[in-house]
């Protein structure tokens, strides 16, 4: 599956113009080749949340990808901070993930300086993926790998986005503070991640069109 994650600039108002079936209908109208549509909103009471959320568009093929009229789905005053276009890779997904509510941690980041895109993506998928798949209490873990063609016009704002899903925020916060994430994942991340670029916010999804 291919995905465009449009990260939204922080604002003091709800970012999405439509909800429910109306949102799904508008998304289908604006993006005829759409295979999935998710509106992601940050949970309340987080310090320094950098984004107002993410508008997530899924497509079945590279040829179907379209950024379309994203602004039409956003409230007045809400704008895109950046868009990350890539292939979504599911590293781990437990059966219970599909049948229960969850929250997710969204981690946009850049690759380590001096590391090629190919080497970065290979390490993230083959070496770091199995380590991160052991995240405490995680229900699912995905990686969004920026498409190579996106680099032809310059460096994107982020080289990828990690999404980790948990049953609830308390489980997420325990996992983030755990030895496995701090020592195991943190130590390995230094091999391929620009650690100063990592952003984290906890969020909930409104799945309008299931990918």
Question: Rounded CA gap, 71 and 165, in Å?
Answer: 27
Enclosing domain of residue 66: 2-209
How many structural domains compose the chain? 1
* Distance from C-alpha of 60 to C-alpha of 81, rounded to nearest angstrom: 25
Asked if 194 and 109 count as a contact pair (C-beta separation under 8 A), the reply is yes
Q: Which two tokens stand for residue 137?
A: 């209490």
Phi, psi of 132 (to 5 degrees): -70, -25
d(C-alpha 41, C-alpha 52), whole Å = 7
> Among 6-15, 30-39, 182-191, where is mean pLDDT lowest?
6-15
3-state SS assignment for residue 174: helix
Q: Tell me, what DSSP letter sits at residue 43?
A: P
Q: What is the pLDDT of residues 189-211, one digit of tens each?
A: 999 999 999 999 999 999 999 99
Q: Could you give the angle at the alpha carbon of 72 between the alpha carbons of 69 and 76, nearest 5°?
A: 135
Mean pLDDT computed over every residue of the chain: 94
pLDDT in tens, 152-194: 989 999 999 999 999 999 999 999 999 999 999 989 999 999 9
Q: How would you write 80-100 as a 3-class SS string?
A: EEEEEEEEEEEEEECHHHHHC
pLDDT at 40 over 80: yes
Please answer whether residues 91 and 163 qualify as being in contact, where contact means their C-beta atoms are separated by less than 8 angstroms. no
Strands of the chain (E only): list them: 2-9, 36-42, 51-59, 80-93, 103-109, 140-146, 160-166, 201-209
CA R_g for the chain:
16
Tokens of 140: 């699912």
Q: Is the pLDDT of residue 99 over 70?
A: no
The model's pTM is 0.95
Q: Annotate 129-166 with b (16+ C-beta within 10 A) or e (fewer).
A: bebbeebeebbbbbbbbbbeebeeeeebebbbbbbbbb
**E strand or H helix that includes residue 151:** none
Position 14 pLDDT exceeds 80: yes
| Residue 141 belongs to domain with CATH number | 3.30.70.100
């Amino acid at each position: 599956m291919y995905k465009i994650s449009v990260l939204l600039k922080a604002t003091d108002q709800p970012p999405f113009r439509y909800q429910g079936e109306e949102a799904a209908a508008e998304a289908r109208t604006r993006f005829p080749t759409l295979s999935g549509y998710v509106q992601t909103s940050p949970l309340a009471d987080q310090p320094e949340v950098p984004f107002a959320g993410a508008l997530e568009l899924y497509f079945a093929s590279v040829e179907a990808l379209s950024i379309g009229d994203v602004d039409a789905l956003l409230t007045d005053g809400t704008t895109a901070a950046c868009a990350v276009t890539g292939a979504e890779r599911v590293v781990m997904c437990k059966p219970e993930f599909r049948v229960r509510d969850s929250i997710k941690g969204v981690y946009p980041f850049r690759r380590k300086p001096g590391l090629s895109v190919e080497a970065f993506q290979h390490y993230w998928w083959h070496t770091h993926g199995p380590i991160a798949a052991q995240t405490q209490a995680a229900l699912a873990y995905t990686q969004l790998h920026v498409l190579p063609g996106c680099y032809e016009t310059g460096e994107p704002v982020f080289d990828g986005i990690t999404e980790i899903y948990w049953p609830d925020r308390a489980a997420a916060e325990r996992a983030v503070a755990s030895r496995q994430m701090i020592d195991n994942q943190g130590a390995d991340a230094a091999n391929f991640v620009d650690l100063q670029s990592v952003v984290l916010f906890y969020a909930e999804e409104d799945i309008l069109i299931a990918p």
